[in-house]
Amino acid sequence: MVREKVTTLESRTAINWLTTIVLIVLHVAAIAAFFFVTTPAVITGIVLYWVCIGFGIGLGYHRLHTHRSYEVPKWLEYFFAICGTLTLEGGPIFWVATHRVHHQKSDQPGDPHSPRDGRFWSHMGWIIFGESKHNNTAMMAKYAPDLAKDPFYCWLNTWHFLPLLLSAIPLYLLGGLPVLLWGGPLRIVLGLHATWLVNSATHLWGSRRFKTRDDSRNNWWVAFLTMGEGWHNNHHAHPTSARHGLVWYEVDMTWMTIQLLNFFGLAKKIKVAKTTSVVNEEDVVAA
Q: Is the pLDDT of residue 207 over 90?
A: yes
Average pLDDT, the chain: 91
Q: Is the pLDDT of residue 11 over 60?
A: no
- Are 91 and 156 in contact, with CB atoms under 8 Å apart? yes
Helix (H/G/I), strand (E/B), else coil: 15: strand
In percent, the amount of the chain with pLDDT more than 70 equals 90
Q: What is the pLDDT of residue 6?
A: 55
Rounded Cα distance, 179 and 45, in Å: 8
Amino acid 1 reads M
Where does the pLDDT of residue 13 fall: very low under 50, low under 70, confident under 90, or very high at 90 and above? Answer: low
Q: Is the pLDDT of residue 1 over 90?
A: no
Distant-in-sequence, close-in-space partners of 143: CB < 8 Å, separation ≥ 6: 3, 6, 96, 97, 98, 100, 101
CA atoms within 13 A on the CB side of 225: 18
CB count in 10 Å sphere of residue 10: 10
Q: In this structure, what is the dihedral angle of CA atoms 176, 183, 51, 238, given to the nearest 10 degrees?
A: 170
Q: Is the pLDDT of residue 276 over 80?
A: no
Q: What is the pLDDT of residue 123?
A: 97
Helix (H/G/I), strand (E/B), else coil: 40: helix
Q: Report how far Cα 43 is from the mean position of its chain's Cα atoms.
A: 22
**Which has more confidence, 10 or 74?**
74
- Are 170 and 48 in contact, with CB atoms under 8 Å apart? no
Where does the pLDDT of residue 125 fall: very low under 50, low under 70, confident under 90, or very high at 90 and above? Answer: very high
Q: How do residues 146-189 score in pLDDT, each as one tens digit?
A: 999 999 999 999 999 999 999 999 999 999 999 999 999 999 99
Tell me the β-bridge partners of 268.
Answer: 71
Average pLDDT rounded to a whole number, residues 95-119: 95
Average pLDDT rounded to a whole number, residues 208-214: 95
Q: How do residues 33-88 score in pLDDT, each as one tens digit?
A: 999 999 999 999 999 999 999 999 999 999 999 999 999 999 999 999 999 999 99
Average pLDDT rounded to a whole number, residues 183-201: 98
The C-alpha angle with vertex 147 and arms to 142 and 148, in degrees rounded to 5, equals 55
Please, what sign has the CA dihedral across residues 106, 111, 115, 119?
negative
Q: Is the pLDDT of residue 223 over 60?
A: yes
In percent, the amount of the chain with pLDDT more than 90 equals 84
Distant-in-sequence, close-in-space partners of 220: CB < 8 Å, separation ≥ 6: 206, 230, 250
Q: Report how far Cα 260 is from the mean position of its chain's Cα atoms.
A: 21
Q: How do residues 126-153 score in pLDDT, each as one tens digit?
A: 999 876 666 677 778 888 999 999 999 9
- Are 182 and 42 in contact, with CB atoms under 8 Å apart? yes
Q: What is the pLDDT of residue 137?
A: 76
